[in-house]
Amino acid sequence: MLHTAKLLVIDDDFDVATAARLLLQRHYAEVRVAHSPEAACELLQHYQPDCVLLDFNFTKGYTDGKEGLALLKWLHEHHPKCKVIAMTAYADVPLAVAALKLGATDFITKPWDNARLVATVSGILHQAPVQNTDACGKLLGSSSAMQALRNMINNVAPTEANVLILGENGVGKELVAQALHQGSPRKQAPFLAVDMGALAESTLESELFGYKKGAFTDARSDKQGRFQAARGGVIFLDEIGNLPLAGQAKLLTALERREVTPIGSNQSEKIQVRVVSATNLSETELYDPTRFRTDLLFRLNTIVLRVPALREHAEDIPLLLEHYLQHYQQAYQKPARQLSASLIQQLCQHAWKGNIRELKHACERAVILGIESSYQLQDFGVIFDNSQSSNNASKQTEQLSLEVIEKNTIQSALNQTTGNMSAAAKLLGLSRAALYRKLEKHGL
């Protein structure tokens, strides 16, 4: 029995559009075709599709995808409930990423595999609505950098695309992977994190793909590999850049075939997982073939998410300090202590080379060791590099606006005093009148 969903294929290539229509008509009762944005807009005045398959270039000689992106934006505004699948050539994956940012639900590359196309359409039409509002809840920060990252996660999470997360140590790459999982249709299935750098090369294959009883001396029973254990969910391959080249070849084979073979078995098993990976390597290092296989990289980096270092969103430091201090005060049942504006400013000037992880540990230390009614700089255990003070000063001028620090400090004081203006003014060392002027100035 055919599914009742309505589909629309928009592609200027008559043969491509016809092939898609004939394939999808085997599964869906109504599949229509338009060969230009103008024809699509006219059709959509009286036809309400559940899913649109959208090409992005319609005028001969144009390959920038602007026509398709404009039509996607129009669809998002006028038919917000309609799911859109971007159709792009293999070389146009960056265009597909741009489409995801504008609201496309998923993308598929041309020429497509028939089974993959049908499965993509089916998955989109049958998936439950995904609530992304809480998926990024642990990724704190009101800066433009963090807002952009959360927006990207919300667009990418509902898809099946493999994701590569880039960022320095301590920026929160695993939190990003967890947010992708929580914002996807797979959120009820396992999320399994694997530290690739911690796997010995000699046991890599058995750990990832499993083994059968008797496969080697100590194999006294069958054991699932990590790919089997994550079935139906997400496998997070952390620090993928630490995987030796020999191990990279084995992983590539599994991803290409979408199947694994346990050691000691003649029977392969299909991979039923979404692959999310992360590394602290720079992109220059990643593209060095002596360090990382290019063909594996292209399997992993369908979508690339870059997590900013803390110095790139330093205006979020006051918020992070407040959050982690409150967290550890509750965890260790310690009293709340004041955090003065001058101390916040000093901590904002710290380099935080270990990123959010370093800041988090410093807050934990301060909560445990702090003994006075207000936090002191020494409670946090941070060490300033005086030899770099002049350089740091110029960098901080670029990275931190005094107005941003002032606004965040005032907001922190209001939060600590639960909106009590007199207490907040006292904490900040201001008169009530001065505090009200600054509230008005910053729109608080």
Matching residue, tokens 């590539």 = 252
In the predicted structure, residue 399 carries a pLDDT above the cut 60: no
User: Burial letters for 200-217: b for 16+ Cβ neighbours within 10 Å, e otherwise?
Assistant: eeeebbbbbbbbbeebee
Locus of tokens 């005045």: 45
Q: What is the pLDDT of residues 61-93, one digit of tens each?
A: 777 888 889 999 899 888 888 889 988 775 566
Model pLDDT for residues 327-344, shown as the tens digit of each residue: 999 999 999 899 998 899
**CA-to-CA distance for 351 and 159, rounded, in angstroms?**
37
Closest listed residue to residue 161, CA positions, set 106, 114, 116, 90: 106
Handedness of CA 111, 116, 120, 121 (dihedral sign): positive
pLDDT of residue 275: 95
What is the domain partition of the chain in residue ranges? Answer: 3-126, 145-306, 312-442
3-state secondary structure the chain: CCEEEEEEEECCCHHHHHHHHHHHCCCEEEEEEECCHHHHHHHCCCCCCCEEEECCCCCCCCCCCHHHHHHHHHHHHHCCCCEEEEEEEHHHHHHHHHHHHCCCCEEEEECCCHHHHHHHHHHHHHCCCCCCCCCCCCCCCCCHHHHHHHHHHHHHCCCCCCEEEECCCCCCHHHHHHHHHHCCCCCCCCEEEEEHHHCCCCCHHHHHHEECCCCCCCCCCCEECHHHHCCCCEEEEECHHHCCHHHHHHHHHHHHHCEECCECCCCCEECCCEEEEEECCCHHHHCCCCCCCHHHHHHHCCEEEECCCHHHHHHHHHHHHHHHHHHHHHHCCCCCCECCHHHHHHHHCCCCCCHHHHHHHHHHHHHHHCCCCECCHHHHCCCCCHHHHHHHHHHHHHHCCHHHHHHHHHHHHHHHCCCCHHHHHHHHCCCHHHHHHHHHHHCC
pLDDT of residue 383: 79
Looking at domain 3-126, its CATH class is alpha beta
232-246 pLDDT, tens per residue?
A: 999 999 999 999 898
Tens digits of residue pLDDT in 181-207 = 999 989 899 999 999 888 888 888 888
Q: What is the pLDDT of residues 163-178, one digit of tens each?
A: 999 999 999 999 999 9
Average the pLDDT over 382-400 and give the result.
53
Which of the four CATH numbers 3.10.20.30, 3.40.50.2300, 3.30.420.40, 3.40.50.300 does domain 145-306 have?
3.40.50.300
Domain 145-306 shares a fold with domain 312-442: no
- Res 393: pLDDT: 47
**Which pTM value belongs to this model?**
0.62
pLDDT at position 306 over 90: yes
Does 312-442 carry CATH code 2.60.40.1760?
no
Share above pLDDT 70 across residues of the chain, in percent, rounded to a whole number: 89
Of all residues in the chain, the percent with pLDDT exceeding 90 is 42
Average pLDDT, whole number, for the chain? 85
Residue 135 has pLDDT above 70, yes or no: no
